[in-house]
Structure 1
Amino acid sequence: MAQSRIRFTASKAPAAVEAHAALTALYGQADARVADVIVALGGDGFMLQTLHAHKERGLPVYGMNCGTIGFLMNAYSTEELYARLSAAEEATIHPLSMRAMNTKGKMTEALAINEVSLLRQGPQAAKLRISIDGRERLDELVCDGALVATPAGSTAYNYSAHGPILPIGADVLALTAMAAFRPRRWRGALLAKSAVVRFDVIDPEKRPVMADADSRSSVRDVANVEIRTETSVLHRLLFDRGHGLEERLIGEQFV
């Protein structure tokens, strides 16, 4: 990517704003319509925003950490950016598609790069029925919530809920429960990437539940949620050589 046309984008964090000014002064600012690569300045949350915002053109995104969390980001530096981009390793990921129906019959659709989560909305535990590919697998899960995570998102919310870290090349999804009460200490399951996961909320009036896609699209009072891999959308992430997403996911397990 020598002399690539770079489009810089930054979060509102002061460090990211400062970095944006420094980098555009050095490398210019390409119009989004003709750019070859997006350089995102911020943390992981901003990286997710950038990937969602630029999914139509399918441009590779190279992140530099100017935020508090940077698992998806590279180290920040103003030097030799063209060389870093040219040598970068690319990881490709498909997001999850969420279709959430609320108790009034309204359907909401959203994409999630990391995870789709269901969370109890009130003081009482949620009761969820889980079906995989149209077959009921768990008639009642009493819990604080549950989520379905991609390999790229397996070190985020999923890992905090004691879910497994998934290799980036694995064709699997993680189904993880949060504070499962019944079945006692049920942690979840590993599912094929092609699986269609459906959650039905049991007694949603008494035990309301909300659904969320990457902490970007929230739906309250859901009746059911269907989740599947959206193979028609492909996100491209760039990492410095030797520090790719696969290496990071492996390394995270030996910290």
Structure 2
Amino acid sequence: MPKAGKITFLASDSEAAKDALAKLSAIYGSVPLDKAEVIVALGGDGFMLHTLHATQAMDVPVYGMNCGTIGFLMNEYGEEGLRERLESAEEEVINPLSMRATRADGTVHEALAINEVSLLRAGPQAAKLRITIDGKMRMEELVCDGALVCTPAGSTAYNYSAHGPILPIGAEVLALTAMAAFRPRRWRGALLPMTAKVRFDVLDPQKRPVMADADGRSARDVVTVEVQSEPSVRHRILFDPGHGLEERLTREQFV
């Protein structure tokens, strides 16, 4: 990380984050966002994802400080020595997933996801999905509560809760994971190359409606969803030395 320059502090709506914003801005100053050389996001993982999405066109590194709950993407909160921490921080570069979801009425919903793109049943009956990888049909019918494609950075989030694998941050792979698969019974998914283009077709969408979600950006009543890595977009995330994503991903497996 180059010498810490002009800092912009951004905070979530929580009282702890707003209190931290006031204290840190008073100590270090805070420039307008368009002048930032580094962004310090105050909140939890949800706010970090929001900040990364909102500033992705700026190519400015983001350093998170945990004022939330889990804080997997965040550093420990502290008011002392922030400039020194920024100067010694390690940078991780993450490429998001792109989602292109076509709804039953023909409209198309596009969004980017840093963690995962997920399909979820939107009614009382299980979803029925057909899965195609790089133009080749790989599973004719998956009956499940849902399925997701995740990045290595997102592999400890929803994916891990659905019993998907934790992926090393440098791995050039994506995880395709099923939620509560009924048929094939207990099918948990597959590992795919980072370049894979995944297509989900919703079977019987009127009787078994499905919604698609990319980091909280949702589309209902989808009939097809296409997912792939988007190398043209990069998110720069800063971590304190020895506490980067690779260390966190490894540590998570030995809890």
TM-score range, shorter chain: over 0.9
Aligned residues: 254
Q: 2:155 aligned with 1:125, yes or no?
A: no
1: CA distance between counterparts of 2:55 and 2:4? 21
* Partner of residue 250, structure 1: 250
The amino acid that maps onto 2:230 is E
* Partner of residue 172, structure 1: 173
User: Cα deviations across residues 164-212 of structure 1 (Å, max 9, x unaligned)?
Assistant: 0000000000000000000000000000000000000000000000000
TM-score using structure 2 length: 0.99
Task: Name the SS of the counterpart of 1:33 in structure 2.
Answer: helix
2: CA distance between counterparts of 1:123 and 1:244? 41
User: Runs of 4 or more off by more than 4 Å in structure 1?
Assistant: none
Task: Name the SS of the counterpart of 2:21 in structure 1.
Answer: helix
1: CA distance between counterparts of 2:69 and 2:229? 29
User: How far did 1:145 drift?
Assistant: 0.1
1: CA distance between counterparts of 2:17 and 2:91? 23
Unaligned stretches of 5+ in structure 2?
Answer: none
* Partner of residue 187, structure 1: 188
1: CA distance between counterparts of 2:191 and 2:60? 30
2: CA distance between counterparts of 1:145 and 1:212? 11
User: Percent same amino acid at aligned positions?
Assistant: 70
Q: 2:43 aligned with 1:51, yes or no?
A: no
C-alpha contact (below 8 Å) 2:4/2:38 kept by paired residues: no
Q: 2:138 aligned with 1:137, yes or no?
A: yes
TM-score using structure 1 length: 0.99
Task: Name the SS of the counterpart of 2:34 in structure 1.
Answer: coil
* Partner of residue 106, structure 1: 107
* Partner of residue 224, structure 1: 224
User: How far did 1:113 drift?
Assistant: 0.2
The amino acid that maps onto 1:114 is N
1: CA distance between counterparts of 2:120 and 2:172? 26
Q: 2:28 aligned with 1:27, yes or no?
A: yes
User: How far did 1:58 drift?
Assistant: 1.2
User: How far did 1:30 drift?
Assistant: 1.2
RMSD of equivalent CA atoms: 0.6
2: CA distance between counterparts of 1:233 and 1:252? 27
Unaligned stretches of 5+ in structure 1?
Answer: none
* Partner of residue 11, structure 2: 10
User: How far did 1:2 drift?
Assistant: 3.5
User: How far did 1:131 drift?
Assistant: 0.2
User: How far did 1:32 drift?
Assistant: 1.3
User: How far did 1:3 drift?
Assistant: 4.5
2: CA distance between counterparts of 1:195 and 1:13? 38
Q: CA 1:60 to 1:3, structure 2 compared with 1: closer, same or farther past 3 Å?
A: closer
